[in-house]
């Protein structure tokens, strides 16, 4: 008996054994998370996806590129959903989507589905992520998803070495660097120094470069600034760290059968359809000069008058109320008095500027500020999307100037006001759209 492992997209996988099928972090969309485009490119046969018989879905955490309602909506509502999340709101939203069997995953508590034993393992940020230890037919597979390895968890997992396969998140995205590019390092990117010790402790027979199987819009400068690790670089590093380990690239739809004897290519997923060249690689350019936000804003659709009014009213009023309601961390840059400028760019690249005086938890509009120390830029369309559509920070093209090296970028007033209590906003917005287009019956 073998274990068949197939790649859907990003962190999505199908595991099949003895006639049973389980799915991890399914994404059946391209693009997904608003502006994540499959890399390499694929499309989906949604009729086949709707016909899938799935014994269980496992979701590692609540981020929208792992828990997408537009993808879950395609599945039979009788499918059990196992979710690692500390917030009951997301479980309730999934139930509102129509799923009747929604269960909470707990660290080290196994779930049995036919021949499968799925054990959630603690990630470094246990408040957010989990990893999956999958056992079937005497095989051990570690799906690290896109988590960082907790040292205690590594000690717990090392006795299972040699692991049969590890799905390793090989890409180290530079989200903060693209938000505040003036602070970004221009040096060539080095792989994290803890990876050799971690992978050597696991001693896997096979390693799959996993997660981050996407880029942004074709015009986006992020494609050369956010993704610093190439498949080539990762494979070359593994050859040095673990010369007896085989690196196995799994593009979307690709399947393998894993057994104690080895790994064999298997029939690909018929409902994931490759488009164009598949052996693509990332192209990191550390010296790239980012285009101005005015130019970026021209790529987005014109807002309606109502949408524009909502976004600008937030700048004049809503942001002030939101900021005053929050508690500022004591070590924040904004604990001391300073001037802040928010520049909002419309579809023609025209900027409307708002200047604020901030001191701790207090904020006021103040046009008399001549030289704001901290400046934030955002396309108007993306500000609206953050307010009304649950858009996530990594797709909003926020740009920060003037943040000193010792300041935390996420203390930015706009970022805090949009995301301080915005848990599951993306999924909630998806649910509203799905319910709006779904006919109701009396």
10-45 burial string, b = 16+ CB within 10 Å, else e? bbbbbbbbeebbbbbbbbbbbebbbbbbbbbbbebe
Average pLDDT, the chain: 96
Contact status, residue 240 vs residue 198, Cβ threshold 8 Å: no
Instruction: Calculate the alpha carbon distances from 320 to 43, 357, 369 in Å.
Output: 43, 11, 17
> Rounded CA gap, 270 and 45, in Å?
8
Tens digit of pLDDT for each residue in 18-39? 999 999 999 999 999 999 999 9
Specify the pTM: 0.96
Question: Angle, to 10 degrees, between the axis of helix 380-388 and the axis of helix 305-313?
Answer: 80
pLDDT of amino acid 369? 96
Mean per-residue pLDDT for 422-437?
93
pLDDT, position 91: 98
The token pair that represents 377 in the structure block: 């830029």
Q: What's the confidence (pLDDT) of residue 186?
A: 75
**Residue-level pLDDT at 188:** 73
Residue 374 has pLDDT above 70, yes or no: yes
Average pLDDT over residues 206-212: 96
Question: 260-305 pLDDT, tens per residue?
Answer: 999 999 999 999 999 999 999 999 999 999 999 999 999 999 999 9
Local confidence band at 210 (pLDDT 50, 70, 90 cut-offs): very high
> Which residue would you say has higher pLDDT here, 307 or 34?
307
pLDDT band at residue 440, thresholds of 50, 70 and 90?
Answer: low
The least confident of 188-197, 368-377, 379-388 is 188-197
In percent, how much of the chain has pLDDT > 90? 93
Q: What is the pLDDT of residue 189?
A: 81
pLDDT attached to residue 442: 45
Question: For the chain, how big is the Rg over CA atoms in Å?
Answer: 23
| Nearest residue to 417 (alpha-carbon basis) of 342, 345, 351, 346 | 342
pLDDT higher than threshold 80 for residue 421:
no
Q: What is the pLDDT of residue 422?
A: 79
Spatial contact of 411 and 332, defined as CB atoms under 8 Å apart? yes
Q: Is the distance from CB of 391 to CB of 398 less than 8 angstroms?
A: no
Residue 315: pLDDT over 80? yes
- H helices of 115-224, where? 151-157, 175-179, 195-202
Tell me the mean pLDDT in the region 117-124.
98
Domains of the chain: 3-274 (3.60.15.10), 293-434 (3.30.1050)
The whole-number average pLDDT for the span 329-357 is 96
Confidence (pLDDT) at 177: 93
Residue 441 confidence (pLDDT): 52
């Amino acid at each position: 008996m073998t274990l068949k492992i197939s790649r859907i997209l990003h962190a999505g996988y199908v595991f099949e054994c003895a006639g049973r099928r389980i799915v991890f972090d399914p994404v059946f969309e391209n693009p997904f998370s608003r502006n994540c485009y499959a890399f390499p490119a694929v499309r989906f046969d949604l009729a086949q996806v709707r016909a899938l018989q799935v014994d269980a879905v496992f979701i590692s955490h609540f981020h929208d590129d792992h828990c997408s309602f537009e993808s879950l909506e395609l599945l039979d509502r009788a499918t059990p959903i196992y979710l690692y999340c500390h917030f009951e709101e997301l479980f309730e939203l999934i139930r509102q989507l129509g799923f009747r069997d929604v269960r909470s995953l707990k660290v080290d508590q196994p779930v049995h589905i036919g021949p499968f034993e799925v054990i959630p393992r603690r990630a470094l940020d246990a408040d957010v992520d989990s990893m999956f230890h999958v056992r079937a037919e005497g095989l051990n597979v570690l799906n690290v998803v896109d988590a960082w390895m907790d040292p205690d968890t590594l000690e717990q997992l090392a006795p299972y070495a040699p692991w049969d396969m590890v799905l390793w998140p090989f890409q180290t995205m530079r989200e903060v660097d693209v938000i505040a590019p003036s602070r970004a390092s221009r040096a060539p990117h080095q792989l994290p120094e803890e990876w050799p010790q971690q992978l050597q402790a696991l001693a896997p027979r096979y390693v799959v470069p996993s997660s981050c199987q996407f880029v942004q819009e074709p015009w986006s400068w992020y494609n050369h600034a956010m993704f610093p690790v190439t498949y080539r670089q990762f494979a070359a590093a593994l050859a040095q760290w673990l010369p007896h380990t085989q690196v196995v690239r799994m593009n979307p739809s690709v399947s393998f059968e894993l057994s104690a004897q080895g790994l064999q290519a298997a029939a690909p997923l018929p409902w994931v359809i490759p488009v164009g060249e598949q052996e693509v690689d990332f192209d990191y350019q550390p010296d790239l000069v980012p285009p101005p936000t005015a130019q970026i804003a021209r790529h987005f659709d014109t807002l309606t008058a109502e949408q524009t009014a909502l976004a600008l009213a937030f700048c004049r009023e809503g942001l002030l109320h939101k900021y005053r309601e929050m508690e500022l961390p004591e070590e924040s840059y904004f604990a001391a008095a300073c001037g802040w400028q928010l520049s909002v760019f419309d579809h023609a690249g025209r900027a409307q500027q708002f200047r604020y005086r901030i001191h701790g938890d207090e904020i006021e509009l103040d046009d008399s500020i001549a030289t704001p120390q901290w400046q934030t830029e955002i396309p108007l369309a993306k500000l609206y999307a953050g307010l009304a559509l649950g858009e996530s920070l990594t797709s909003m093209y926020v740009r920060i100037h003037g943040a000193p090296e010792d300041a935390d970028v996420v203390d930015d007033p706009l970022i805090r006001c949009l995301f301080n209590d915005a848990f599951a906003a993306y999924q909630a917005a998806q649910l509203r759209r799905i319910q709006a287009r779904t006919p109701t019956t009396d």
